[in-house]
Amino acid sequence: MNNKFSENLKKIRKDNNLSQEQLADELGVSRQAISKWESAVAYPEMDKIITLSEKFNLNIDDLLHKDIREVKGEEESKKNINKYIEDFLNFITNTINMFCNMSFKSKCKCLFEQLVIGSILLVVCLIIGSLGDSLLYSIFDVIPDKLFYILHSFFEFIYASFAITSSVVIMVHIFKTRYLNYYENIKKEVIEPQEDIKEISVEVSNDDKKEKKSKIHFKKSEDKIIIRDPKHSEYKFINGLFKGIVGFIKFFVLCFSIILFVSLISLFCLFVVSFLAVKTGLVFIGLLLAILSAGIINLVLILLALNFVFNRKNDKKKMIWSFIISLIMFGTGIGLVIVGALNFEYIENDKSILKTDYIEIDMKDNLIFGYHYPEVEYIESNNENIKIEYTINKYCEINHSELPDKVFHMWGSCENPIKLVKEVISNFNNKKIVSINNQLQNVKVYTTKENIDILKKNYKDYTDVEVQHQNTINSYEKEINELQNKLDEYVQKEWEYQEEINNLKNQLFMYESNDE
């Protein structure tokens, strides 16, 4: 006899709160037959086993050969796991669907709310963790360091796991309570009427096209819904904080739009100036296209910024097409400029725009020259002073100054850039690109051999790290000696003043003694 069947039959009867008589009535047999089956004295016919398995939703093989309670437990655990997976996937799916149907403003508010809640939870966890860390140090301070480290790491891991898990659970619960629980209801309230509108709009006659279009437009505008429970008001703190941050962002966007506006004016000026280079052919056409397209892109960005600041709707199609066409125009313009520039001649250090001049300075034993220039040529002459010859752009003037440590510095500056711009445009129209800068070139120093040796030595000492280090030490020692000398003088004066005070006291004492 099959003991498993008899045991399972007892379990089925007890689990379903049935007596032997009741189970016998269910199966259409006598109570004695049930008793014999349970005691393994007799074995039921196959049709009774099939009826029993169908009535109590059991597998025949499990009923005859396995423990049905264990089988049910395994099935329940599988069902629970499948339910958890299904709930998780439904949560993800509903969240994605909800965000797809939410308006942009509602999306921002929802994400901002989660960010604020997450930040609050993070701060709370950090505070509790810090307090717990201090408590651990005070409790386990007396134990050995290695054991303390092990315990500290263990408690830290436990707390981190608990904090992360609880924070995620709290955030998901709040998100589900404030948003997902109302998603299905609001979706039915909003989307189903829209489907009705769509059907109605299809049935409208051809003579009433305007009404049809308006209804379709209404459907599109209502696609985006706000997932909020009307019984629950928004958190005033979060809503106020969100508005403050949005206002802060709008302020910066407004400042950025001002910069874009200034750049638009600059592009307009550049567009006008580009007509001076009309003789360059393809380069001129390319410049016009590039500048014009850059201006359109700038204008699109300005409109986007202003519409965001003042809560106005964007004509997305026009803006996107304008942006794409402008990018194509800009690329075409740059391509034309590159192709046209292949015929240009590049000239470096054009002698026609350079001039050679000189200045004279007095010779000093500690004068340092040449530190700021890549190359200086020294030429012997009978000149006792220093004559410095240089080459520079003819539109620039020379400036010079004596920096600390007697370093003589020269530099060029272009005070009248208009002439320089005219020169550049003239060369550009002649298909020439001339390298123009205000750097000194061909610097030459004319003086006696003795002065040249002094200048070279000063320059070498100035650039030598060890010499500079020693000079610094010498300067400090010199200053220390000077201060020490002053201190000695003050001590000497103090001693003299003290002696004079003592003399005066003695005289006073003698004077008082004579009076007595």
Report the CATH number at residue 8. Answer: 1.10.260.40
The verdict on residue 271 lying in a domain is: yes
Q: Average pLDDT in the 120-146 region? A: 80
Q: Are residues 171 and 270 in the same domain?
A: no
- Domain stop point among 131, 159, 178: 178
Closest CA to 90 of 184, 26, 223, 194: 184
Confidence check: pLDDT of 24 > 70: yes
Q: What distance in Å separates the CA atoms of residue 330 and residue 320, rounded to the nearest whole number?
A: 15
Position 73 scores a pLDDT of: 66
pLDDT for the residue 331: 92
The whole-number pLDDT of residue 212 equals 40
> How many beta carbons lie within 10 A of that of residue 3, not counting itself?
8
Residues 316 and 397 in one domain: no
> Is 494 part of any domain?
yes
Percent of the chain exceeding pLDDT 90 equals 6
| Average pLDDT of the residues in 235-253 | 71
Is a pLDDT exceeding 50 seen at residue 200? no
The reported pLDDT for the residue numbered 433 is 78
State the CB neighbour count (10 A cutoff) for residue 180: 17
- Does residue 410 surpass a pLDDT of 60? yes
Q: Which pair of structure tokens corresponds to residue 7? A: 């045991």
One domain for residues 275 and 331: yes
Answer yes or no: do 407 and 513 share one domain.
no
Give the separation between CA 164 and CA 174, rounded to whole angstroms.
Answer: 15
Q: Determine the pLDDT at residue 325.
A: 94
Give φ, ψ of 256 to 5 degrees.
-65, -40
- Give the 3-state secondary structure of residue 58: coil
Question: What pLDDT was estimated at residue 237?
Answer: 55
459 and 352 belong to one structural domain? yes
Greater confidence (382 vs 104) lies with: 382
pLDDT band at residue 187 using 50, 70 and 90 as cut-offs: low
Q: Which residue has the higher pLDDT, 488 or 80?
A: 488
41: pLDDT strictly greater than 80:
no
Give the Å distances, CA to CA, from 334 to 267, 290, 424, 508.
15, 6, 20, 101
Per-residue confidence at 324, pLDDT binned at 50, 70, 90?
A: very high
Domain membership of residue 477 (yes or no) is: yes
Q: Which of 178, 196, 214 lies at the terminal end of a domain, its last residue? A: 178
**In this predicted structure, what is the pLDDT of residue 289?**
92
Would you say residue 362 lies in a domain?
Answer: yes
Q: Which domain holds residue 430?
A: 348-463
State phi, psi for 508 to the nearest 5 degrees: -65, -40
When divided into structural domains, the chain yields a total of 5
Q: CB–CB of 187/226 below 8 Å?
A: no
pLDDT of 189 reads 61
pLDDT band at 292 (very low <50, low <70, confident <90, very high): very high
363, 437: one domain: yes
**Residue 220: per-residue pLDDT:** 41
- Residue 40 pLDDT > 70: no
pLDDT for the residue 327: 93
Assign 373 a pLDDT band (cuts: 50, 70, 90): low
DSSP letters spanning 194-249: HHHHHHHHHHS-GGGHHHHHHHHHHHHHTSSB----TTSPPPHHHHHHHHHHHHHH
Task: Give a yes or no: residue 511 inside a domain.
Answer: yes
CA 340 to chain centre: 40
Q: Are residue 277 and residue 356 in the same domain, yes or no?
A: no
pLDDT for 68 equals 64
Confidence of residue 290 (pLDDT cuts 50, 70, 90): very high
* pLDDT tens digits, 267-288: 898 888 888 777 778 888 888 9
What is the arithmetic mean of pLDDT over 217-242? 49
Least confident of 221-235, 404-418, 469-483: 221-235
pLDDT at 329: 93
Question: Are 306 and 357 contained in the same domain?
Answer: no
CA atoms of 316 and 131, how far apart (whole Å): 53
Mark whether 328 and 433 lie in a shared domain: no
Please give the C-alpha separations between residue 195 and each of 203, 209, 219, 440, in angstroms, as whole numbers.
Answer: 13, 19, 8, 78
Residue 77 is assigned to a structural domain of this protein? no
Whether residue 17 is found in the same domain as residue 58: yes
Please list the alpha-helical segments (H only) found in 102-182: 104-139, 145-178
| Average pLDDT value for residue range 300-307 | 90
Residue 200 falls inside a structural domain: no
Give the pLDDT confidence score for residue 356 in this predicted structure.
86
Among 325, 343, 361, where does a domain finish?
Answer: 343
- The answer as to whether 314 is a domain residue is yes
Do 317 and 416 fall within a single domain? no
Higher-pLDDT residue of 360, 72: 360
Query: Residue 105 pLDDT > 80, yes or no?
Result: no
Residue 350 main-chain phi, psi, to 5 deg: -65, 120
Domain co-membership, 452 together with 484: no
Mean of all residue pLDDT scores within the chain: 76
Q: What is the DSSP letter of 59?
A: -
The percentage of residues in the chain with a pLDDT greater than 70, rounded to a whole number, is 78
> How far is 494 from 474, CA to CA, in rounded Å?
30
Under the banding of pLDDT at 50, 70 and 90, the label for residue 25 is confident
pLDDT band at 514, cuts 50/70/90?
confident
Q: Model pTM?
A: 0.43
